[in-house]
Amino acid sequence: MSASIIVLALLAFVAVTIFKGVRIVPQGNKWIVQRLGKYHTTLGPGLSIIIPYIDDIAYKVTTKDIVLNIPSQEVITRDNAVLLMNAVAYINLTTPEKAVYGIENFNIAIQNLVQTSLRSIVGEMDLDDALSSRDHIKAKLKAAISDDIADWGITLKTVEIQDIQPSTTMQAAMEAQAAAERQRRATVTKADGEKQAAILEADGRLEASRRDAEAQVVLAEASQKAIAMVSSAIGDQEIPVSYLLGEQYIKAMQDMAKSNNAKTVVLPADVLNTIRGIMGRNLK
């Protein structure tokens, strides 16, 4: 009976020994082996043999990309504007032994490093630049922390600025400023429209005056030519010329009488002589 117990104990010891000595590392993982409490080796994916009871699996780390959410924080810009910003970082443990032995908790360390660097970068920028320069902030942030985390065997794949929002009071001030700017643009647009309308109206009056003047010149030239033709035809005879001039005179008087603004029609003192010229004979 005692022999059976011993055999069973030996079989159990052998099974435990084999289990502790033969290790299968899953794909996407690396295991850190310590020998008597000291770092010995790093096991990659697949079947590996270690010395039972002497070697020990101290850490199991992933080789996949790790996503770190950077909590939202208040950041003050150079012009004293308060922004709420958060980010996300993608890292990879290229040297797992450095990551586990070089830093106590690399997740918290990287989060604090990103937040500190973000405050420093945005603090050198104005509000408008910070709101419109995500790619610039991203590039400077990646350059600022890549060298630091490389000492921990960690590679920063990329870092993205998830959200940039002004604080509540800052957002209210920006909305008021935007409303004032829209009102100013509306006023300027209205003034420009009125200015253009006045210019067009003045141009219209100028063009009408110019055309009226041209018409007066044309009529005067036509009258001049008519008188010249009549004078050439009648020679020194006075009656036809007087008739033409009298006719134009009477026409002008009729136009004045028909005008809505004419209250009184004044006849010249020599009206009889004018009529004599028109009738072509002497009235006595």
Question: How many domains, the chain?
Answer: 3
Whether residues 120 and 77 share a domain: the answer is: yes
Distance separating alpha carbons of residues 58 and 30, to the nearest angstrom: 11
Nearest to 85, CA basis, from 173, 160, 178 = 160
Distance separating alpha carbons of residues 249 and 267, to the nearest angstrom: 11
Domain edge (last residue) among 61, 79, 101: 61
Task: Quote the domain boundaries for residue 261.
Answer: 236-284
Whether residues 70 and 153 share a domain: the answer is: yes
Whether residues 41 and 124 share a domain: the answer is: no
Write out the two tokens for 228.
């010249």
CATH number at 149 reads: 3.30.479.30
Whether residues 76 and 152 share a domain: the answer is: yes
Distance separating alpha carbons of residues 213 and 226, to the nearest angstrom: 20
| pTM recorded for the entire structure | 0.57
- Residue 88 falls within a domain, yes or no? yes
**Distances, alpha carbon 272 to alpha carbons 113, 248, 275, in Å:** 114, 16, 5
Residue type, 205: R
Per-residue pLDDT of the chain (284 residues; tens, 9 = 90+): 677 788 788 888 788 888 888 888 999 999 999 998 899 999 999 998 888 888 889 999 999 999 999 998 888 888 888 888 899 999 999 999 999 998 888 999 999 999 999 999 998 988 888 888 888 899 999 998 988 899 899 999 999 988 888 877 766 666 677 778 778 888 888 888 888 888 888 888 888 888 888 877 777 777 677 667 766 666 555 555 555 566 666 666 666 666 665 555 555 555 556 555 554 544 44
Distance separating alpha carbons of residues 94 and 200, to the nearest angstrom: 74
Phi, psi torsion values for 221, nearest 5 degrees? -65, -40
Whether residues 102 and 80 share a domain: the answer is: yes
Domain edge (last residue) among 15, 32, 61: 61
